[in-house]
Chain A
Amino acid sequence: MALFIAVVWGAQVYFVVRAYDDPHVHFGYQPFNESSIWRGEIWRVFPDGRRVSIREGWEGYHWDVLVRDRVRNPWNFRRADSGVGSTLAFVQEALHWVSRHTPNDCETEYLEARIEYVHNRREPQFQVFRSAPRELAPECDL
Chain B
Amino acid sequence: MTGKVLDSVSSPGATLWVRCGSQVQSLLGARGNVRALCALRGILGVLVWLHLKPFLKRMGEGIAYSDVFYDPWVSWYPEASRSVYFAILILACITATCMVVGLWSRVVTPMTFVLLAYNLFLSETFFRHNRHFLLVFLGCLSFVDTGRAFALDVWIRRWRGKPALDVRDVPLWPLWMLRGLAVIPYFASGFSKALDPDWRSGVVTWDRVLRYRHHVQGSVAEGIPFVEGLVARASTLEFHSFFAPLAIGTELFLSVGLLWNPTRRLAMVVAFLFHLSIELSASVQVFSYLGMAAVLIWVSPKKT
Contacts and interface: CB of A to CB of B under 8 A. Distances in A.
Interface of A: 1-2, 5, 8-9, 12-13, 16, 19-20, 24, 26-35, 37, 65-71, 79, 90, 93-94, 97-98, 120-121
A47 to B, nearest CB: 25
23 contacts: A2-B24, A8-B177, A9-B177, A16-B188, A29-B129, A29-B189, A30-B188, A31-B284, A31-B287, A32-B205, A32-B208, A33-B193, A33-B204, A34-B204, A35-B203, A66-B69, A68-B58, A69-B68, A69-B125, A93-B124, A97-B71, A98-B69, A120-B203
B282 A67 contact: no
Interface of B: 24-25, 28, 58, 63, 68-71, 123-127, 129, 132-133, 136, 173, 176-177, 180-181, 184-185, 188-189, 192-193, 196, 198-199, 203-208, 211, 282, 284, 287
Contact of A32 (B70, B181, B282): B282
A93 B71 contact: yes
Contacts of B124: 24, 26, 90, 93
A37 B204 CA distance: 11
Nearest to A77: B211
Contacts, number: 104
Given A24-B127, A27-B132, A97-B69, A8 B181 contact: yes
Given A27-B132, A34-B204, A35-B204, A94 B69 contact: yes
Q: Give me the 10 closest cross-chain CB pairs, A-B, nearest first.
A: A35-B207, A29-B188, A69-B125, A29-B185, A67-B69, A16-B188, A120-B198, A30-B192, A68-B68, A35-B204
Contacts of A121: 203, 207
* B interface secondary structure, majority: helix
A92 to B, nearest CB: 10
A121 B70 CA distance: 30
Contact of A12 (B24, B125, B181, B192): B181
Given A5-B176, A9-B180, A27-B132, A66 B211 contact: no
Given A16-B184, A28-B188, A37-B211, A70 B125 contact: yes
